[in-house]
Amino acid sequence: WRKLFKPCAAQRLFLPMILKDVDSLLYVDTDVLFLRPIDDIWGFLRTFNATQLAAMAPEHEIPKIGWYSRFARHPYYGTTGVNSGVMLMNLTRIRNTQFKNNLIPTGLKWEEMLYPLYQKYKNYITWGDQDLLNIIFYFNPECLFLFPCQWNYRPDHCMYGSNCKGAEEE
């Protein structure tokens, strides 16, 4: 099932299992424009509480124009969903966490949960691994740190009007 998307498109889902000796990493899509020094993003790791193990930005700032709030037919994080184009991951915490889900009453390890969640929601998934991450963090919101949209500034933030106020303020 790792071949569901184009090569490497879903690799962020498997990094906790592949990079067993890596504690933390930053995954970045190629269409992201950084508006400040990328080194600054590592500071978010120090602000994680005891349950947070990843950080992502909202898919949109405004729910009424967000894709998830208008079209998603699967669970998603918060009111707008999250975009996985910039994902700060504490792999050690991911590997050691039992994740809540709607498949079984007890928690599942990351690698035990991915395929069953995919099987359950595959007919509703549009954005591949990003949709799976939204489903995971819908059931485990305490595990996600939400950072501001300016850390995942994308073309759609300015294509259809100004949709990341924090970027304008910086």
The CATH number covering residue 116 comes to 3.90.550.10
Residues in the chain predicted with pLDDT less than 70, given as ranges, are 1-7, 155-162, 167-170
115 lies in some domain: yes
For residues 134 and 75, the answer to whether their CB atoms sit within 8 Å is yes
98 lies in some domain: yes
pLDDT in tens, 74-114: 999 999 999 999 999 999 999 999 999 888 878 999 999 99
What's the domain count of the chain? Answer: 1
What is the CA angle 137-141-147, rounded to 5?
A: 90
Beta bridge partners, 55, equal 88, 145
5 lies in some domain: no
What per-residue confidence (pLDDT) applies to 157? 63
57 lies in some domain: yes
Q: What is the pTM of this model?
A: 0.90
2 lies in some domain: no
**Residue 117 domain boundaries:** 11-167
